[in-house]
Structure 1
């Protein structure tokens, strides 16, 4: 009788462990398209990702590169001080989007151009995404905002 309880307990633990592994695998499989990794322009220049990979790029909109094309097409470059990556975006830019300001874009790197599907801009004069600040600090070009 005592041996039967011990055996039943071991079976329950094994079933629970298998269920946990299966649940973790299913969650990872479901989220595979929703996870976008961040890359700085210098990282993209050093090791360009595949054209099929969707990721986030962040940095400062390089001064003098913002060109509005026909319709909703916008072209500009993003820099972190070490490298500059050309970006194209079709759509309406956020109201606060401008040159020398922080931004993050989601999209893919195709033929040397980052084709953005979404652009996010700063929301006040002091905000900059953490990833962008870290990348700019790595390049030695980040300046603390004045209080």
Structure 2
């Protein structure tokens, strides 16, 4: 093999290795991404199907019902509401009337089955996506 052919073979091999590595990295990232969706978007059918996503909003007052380690509650953006079921231990800051973000999937009945519940950490903080989504939902709902 001539030196030029060796260089071409090395370059082609390196490009193939980079391509395989990029494909594996993008596949891993794609499987771990959870899109943020509002309850209004879920009600409008804009939620991703067959993949986990996040819903953010306020925990509706009077909606928290405990059945052993399963907790049922409603997340609302003040326009639309989505029922949520979560099995596990809730964060200490989880309360009715407070902000929360839940991650999981919709079941065939339209109930959100949560795998993770996140509660805001103080009175003044809300994730920017959740704040913007609540503002947009209230603006669109009042039209």
Q: TM-score range by the shorter chain?
A: 0.7 to 0.9
Confirm or deny that 1:109 pairs with 2:106.
yes
* Structure 2: unaligned runs, 5 residues or longer: none
| TM-score normalized with structure 2 length | 0.81
Aligned residues: CA RMSD: 2.2
Aligned equivalent of 1:130, options 124, 128, 131 = 128
**How far is the alpha carbon of 1:119 from its aligned partner?**
0.4
C-alpha deviation, 1:15, in angstroms: 4.6
Gaps of 5+ in 1: 142-147
Deviations 1:16-36 (A, max 9, x none): 444333221111222333111
Which residue in the other structure is 2:19 paired with? Answer: 21
1:85 corresponding residue in structure 2: 82
Give the length in aligned residue pairs. 136
Give the aligned partner of residue 144 of structure 1: none
CA distance in 2, matches of 1:95, 1:108: 23
The one of 64, 67, 81 equivalent to 1:66 is 64
Equivalent residue, structure 1, for 2:39: 41
